[in-house]
Amino acid sequence: MDITCGIIGLPNVGKSTLFNALTAGEVDVQNYPFCTIDPNVSVVPVPDERLAKLAKIYNPKKVTPTILEFFDIAGLVKGASKGEGLGNQFLQHIRNVTALLHVVRCFEDSNVTHVEGSIDPRRDIETIETELILKDIETVEREIESAAKKAKSGDKKLKEEVSFYERIREYLSEGRLARYFKYASNEKLFFDELSLLTSKPVMYIANVDEEEYIEGNGKICSIRDIAEKEGAPVVPICTKLEAEIAQLPRDEQKDFFEDIGIPESGLDRVIREAYKLLDLITFFTGNPNELRAWSIKRGSTAFEAAGRIHTDFQRGFIRAEIYKTEDLLRDGSEAAVREKGKVLVQGKDYQVQEGDVIYFRFNV
């Protein structure tokens, strides 16, 4: 499933430090713009307490969590849409991801330069959004030029396409983001094929220093104001602290955050919020060999879920036997759930629900 999160922002806001924390990796972090020329890529497990509980029931040889893929994309600067600061290359990287994690600097540090010379989250967000909008306008104008030439033939559908592109160009030119553009159902294909940068869902990550991470930071308010208008989530995090703690064993990480009065790591919140942002849900498969979590888009069918596991499951699909996680945890085994008549037997069109444990019957 080609679903990815791109970490974006201005240079020196903490993108690569966040990436290090997520992956506990060794991405080069330097105090100068553009140290990340190519996007670093990593696959990160999605934390899910249900796996450990289900493992006690299935006692499998292997437990496999579901994952998210993160891209660390080098910093954008003012003028990126016109190629400044290797901008075109970076903007193409953004085009290839599903959702955006926008890191915004809220910490003061004289040893880490800011490209604008001061800390101003609202200004920084507007800088990034402006560059993405300008690139989207450029994309739309190319489509207008191409479609207009073809529309000279008198084709009514092509004329409708040109009209659509002109409407969205005007909308973007007013400084608005494509993800809030209203279009008719018959225009969805036109919109989707544009693959506009500002059509992607966004989460804001407010990068604060260690003291403000615990006590709060006034600069976050300006981010929350913007996010609230957009319906976007905001996650405060101290990326420097999280990168250090990520090197510890998982149990020690939990103890550390409990000691400083934080219920869970910022990284776990980032991953969970990214999962929601992508509109994903989790289902499970379990047997003595492996207990595994799988991610799938909300609203997907049992037939589509079967294909996530193996094409043979989909090709020879007979039925799906659904166990609810809460029933398994309450009753203690698949056999006990069956005895109580709680197993749901469903066909291809069943809409998979969050936390379903599915046994697929198939024949090829």
Q: What is the 3-state secondary structure (H, E, C) of the chain?
A: CCCEEEEECCCCCCHHHHHHHHHCCCCCCCCCCCCCCCCEEEEEECCCHHHHHHHHHHCCCEEECCEEEEEECCCCCCCHHHCHHHHHHHHHHHHCCCEEEEEEECCCCCCCCCCCCCCCHHHHHHHHHHHHHHHHHHHHHHHHHHHHHHHCCCCHHHHHHHHHHHHHHHHHHCCCCHHHCCCCHHHHHHHHHHCCHHHCCEEEEEECCHHHHHHCCCCHHHHHHHHHHHCCCEEEECHHHHHHHCCCCHHHHHHHHHHCCCCCCHHHHHHHHHHHHCCEEEEEEECCCEEEEEEEECCCEHHHHHHHHCHHHHHCEEEEEEEEHHHHHHHCCHHHHHHCCCCEEECCCCECCCCEEEEEEECC
- Per-residue pLDDT for 27 more than 80? no
pLDDT value, residue 89: 60
**Lowest pLDDT segment from 84-88, 268-272, 344-348:** 84-88
- Average pLDDT on 67-85 reads 72
- Stretch 50-65: mean pLDDT, rounded? 96
pLDDT level of residue 305 (50, 70, 90 thresholds): very high
Q: For all residues of the chain together, what is the average pLDDT? A: 87
> pLDDT at position 33, please?
43
Residue 166 confidence (pLDDT) = 95
pLDDT at 25 over 60: no
pLDDT at 187: 92
